Amino acid sequence: MFLNRYYCLLLSFVSSISLAGEGRLDPTPVSFSTPTSLKATFKEVKQKTQRAVGGCPQVPVALTDSDFGDGAYVLQAGFAQGESLGATYSVPEDSFPIKIDTMEVLFGTSNTIVETTTHWSVTVWDGTPTDEMPVATFSSDDLILPHLVMPPGTNGVILSVSVDPNDSDQIYIYNDSGTNSFTVSFRIDQHNQSGSPCISSPPSNRNAFPCTDTSGLDFPNENWIDAVDGTWCACGSGWMTFQQFPSFCTPSGDWILRSFYTPVNCSEDPVACCLADDTCQDLSPSDCTIFGGESAAEGTSCATYVCGSGLGACCVEATGNCVNFDLDTCNTVGGTHMGEGTNCDTTTCFPEGACCLSDGACIGPVTPEDCVAVAGTFQGDGVSCSTANCPQPIGACCGTDWCLDLTEDDCTAVGGAWQGSATVCDDGSICDLKCAEDLDGDRLINVNDLLTVVGDWGLSDSEADIDGSGTVDTADLLAVIAAWGVCE
């Protein structure tokens, strides 16, 4: 009887090795580099109508003490197709309703011999899964939400699922369950190669699995698993907390899951709010928007603010100075009016800073206008290129039998051949590049190709006759040496 389908492979992102778990757990020390991130963004979520969040702080929540970076992890390599992992987070009652912004989970592979593709789903619950109040569920389709694709070897990927902040529809939780909590769960809809539940675990060298931490199980009642059913499933089936899960089946740590939410009705300092009839009320920016008004700058109040006066910061380019003028006066002196309610004390009239270009390069200091003119992204006044973190372009990275959209540095790190910033793996022919000197087809021109030339020396019907002279000879040997390196 197969009881330990949740056997664990211990993962270490650094050279150090940590052992976790006892008894039925079967930890296997491995090591891989810092996890990358797979971004998946909801474009539409149908929920109750709710007013927009204005100035409320985002709150991170997690059961694990892991920072999702370098360190030791446990790969739950017995996790079956169709099973879900989840975590329940407590929220202060007065913070509801809340908006769910981002959900993240760590998946890993250990010495896989093939590229793995995992289909997944994410569900947000009001309360716990057993309260049966799902708020939203979305599944990867490789069109809007990408499948989790990982190259061969030992790797970690943070699956980061977020809601487009510019979308009018968001994920809101109203605490209808009365539990002052919400749960996020991820499900493996389809393994790269599934096993037979409770009889044989999915092949660990052909699949990706979720991870737990190595610091011990600190939240047994908040970590969840939705176990599949089967004839030999001695661990039980359905939604259970780790506390309810049989001890010989329970992982030794907390799931590597975290979420970010934003309270909707957080306290905001009131400001002067100018309504459509130019009357003024002291309201929070959120309430001002609800009433169709326009908020003045922070620190303003109707006691001193006059709606419709136009008084604000006026930037005078000719002198490089700023004066507080109304709109008409500012125009008269040839200045640029920064808007009613602005103030020279808090206004930067002539910003200059770093500008990130589409190719990942940085120029500066330049003005925002000059940055836009070269299709760049302005990084802020006073920001220098030495401190700007310009995003690097993504392009197709071709391996021996795989293609991933990566930065050039990441592609080099995994031994791939980067095809340039304007390329994508969706172009099915992008990796069809063939170098005559690459005789073994591994996209590397190295000693193996050199030995092929030597082995076929003097033959007239060999692919090693690179120059087409009719004979494998010195010219072909020199051609391999000249093209040494990655096939490009």
Q: Measured between alpha carbons, how far is residue 335 from residues 240, 347, 349 in Å?
A: 66, 14, 10
d(CA 151, CA 227) in angstroms, rounded, equals: 27
Residue range 96-110, pLDDT digits in tens: 899 999 999 999 998
**pLDDT (tens digit per residue) in 401-437:** 889 989 988 998 998 888 888 788 887 677 876 778 8
| Average pLDDT, integer, range 275-301 | 80
Closest CA to 394 of 22, 36, 16, 7: 36
CB 39 within 8 A of CB 160: yes
Q: Name the residue type at position 163.
A: V
pLDDT at 241 over 90: yes
| Cα gap 439→455, rounded to integer Å | 12
Q: Which span out of 6-20, 96-110, 117-131, 328-342 was modeled with the highest average pLDDT?
A: 117-131
Domains of the chain and any CATH numbers: 8-263 (no CATH), 271-346 (no CATH), 434-488 (1.10.1330.10)
β-pairing, 84-90 vs 98-112, is: unpaired
Give the C-alpha separation, 84 to 97, whole Å.
Answer: 26
Q: Using the predicted structure, report yes or no on whether residue 33 has a pLDDT greater than 80.
A: no
Q: What is the pLDDT of residue 163?
A: 81
Cβ density class 117-151: b for 16+ within 10 Å, e for less = bbbbebbbbbbbbebebebbebebeeeebbbbbbb
SS (H, E, C) 1-13: CCCCCCCEEEEEC
Nearest to 35 by CA among 73, 64, 63, 8: 73
What share of the chain has pLDDT > 90, as a percent? 34
User: Among the listed ranges 135-144, 195-204, 268-277, which one has the minimum average pLDDT value?
Assistant: 195-204
- State how far the alpha carbon of 154 is from the alpha carbons of 160, 252, 412, 480, in Å: 19, 21, 16, 31
Cα distances from 97 to residues 93, 94, 173, 209, 264, in angstroms, run: 9, 8, 6, 33, 6
Helices and strands, number each (H, E), in the chain: 6, 31
pLDDT at 326: 84
Report pLDDT for 35. Answer: 63
**484 token code pair:** 């040494």
Rounded CA-CA distance 437/431 in Å is 16
pLDDT tier for residue 485 given thresholds of 50, 70 and 90 = confident
At how many degrees (to 10) do helices 447-455 and 474-482 cross? Answer: 170
Which two tokens mark 125? 């619950």
Cα 455 from Cα 452, distance rounded (Å): 5
